[in-house]
Amino acid sequence: MTPEAPSRTSITGVILAGGQGRRMGGQDKGRLLCAGRPLVEWAITALAPQVSTLLISANRHLDQYRAYGYPVITDQEQEFQGPLAGILSAMTAARSHWLLTLPCDDPRPPPDLGVRLAWALTDQNAKLAIATAGGNPQPLYSLLPVTLAGSLSRFLASGERKVVLWHVHHRVALADFSDCPDCFANLNAPDDLRRIERQLLTAQPGLE
């Protein structure tokens, strides 16, 4: 069955906070402070206005995440299988036709992420859409239908984990965000976090 066209009322937002944070010394990235706020709070603030409801994908500190008032979902296999495992759990839990995914470690994602991904998906007659910036794909900033749950489940069962390898099985629309390259933080190391924090405090001095 073809899902209805994506719109705010048919989209569930998913904050992906279920990783191991290996390059951050094993810390739970969603709970790391950036300019005085946990990174997950920045993600909630950015994503909640763009969707009808919100889920948080996490595998640690579940009570702390639940304190934000949104459902918290865990991976079906407790082996830190990567972001696709969190997306599959979200597909199962969602009560909407579409998911809008966002990594937890970006304090300033595009405020119109969902709208532009939906437009690209429709315009390019694709199955799912991802963001690009400066020619660099951002596969975890995605809009995809929950009807792909079967495909994703089979992919993970085969032992594969890489997001881009699953994407090649489907027609993917690319939404160009080259006009806002700073919206994709990709905080992979402590130095990245400190750099973004300085930029946020410079732009909004009152955050200190």
pLDDT of residue 87: 96
Domain ranges of the chain: 8-184
Rounded Cα–Cα distance for residues 89 and 66 (Å): 16
pLDDT of residue 1: 47
Rounded Cα–Cα distance for residues 89 and 159 (Å): 17
> Sign of dihedral through CA atoms 123, 124, 128, 131?
negative
Tell me the whole-structure pTM to 2 decimals: 0.90
Rounded Cα–Cα distance for residues 62 and 81 (Å): 17
pLDDT of residue 189: 74
Q: Which CATH number fits domain 8-184: 2.60.40.10, 3.40.50.1820, 3.30.310.160, 3.90.550.10?
A: 3.90.550.10
pLDDT of residue 121: 97
Say whether 70 sits in a helix, a strand or coil: coil
Looking at residue 1, its amino acid is M
Please give the chain's pLDDT, 208 residues, in tens: 456 779 999 999 999 998 766 666 678 999 999 888 999 999 999 999 999 999 999 999 999 999 999 999 999 876 667 899 999 999 999 999 999 999 999 888 999 999 999 999 999 999 999 999 988 999 999 999 999 999 999 999 999 999 999 999 999 999 999 998 888 877 777 777 788 778 777 766 555 5
DSSP 127-183: SEEEEEETTEEEEEEEEEEGGGHHHHHHHHHTT---HHHHHTTS-EEEEE-TT-GGG
Distance of CA 96 to the CA centre of its chain: 16
- Residues contacting residue 124 through CB under 8 Å, at least 6 positions apart: 171, 173, 174
pLDDT of residue 34: 86
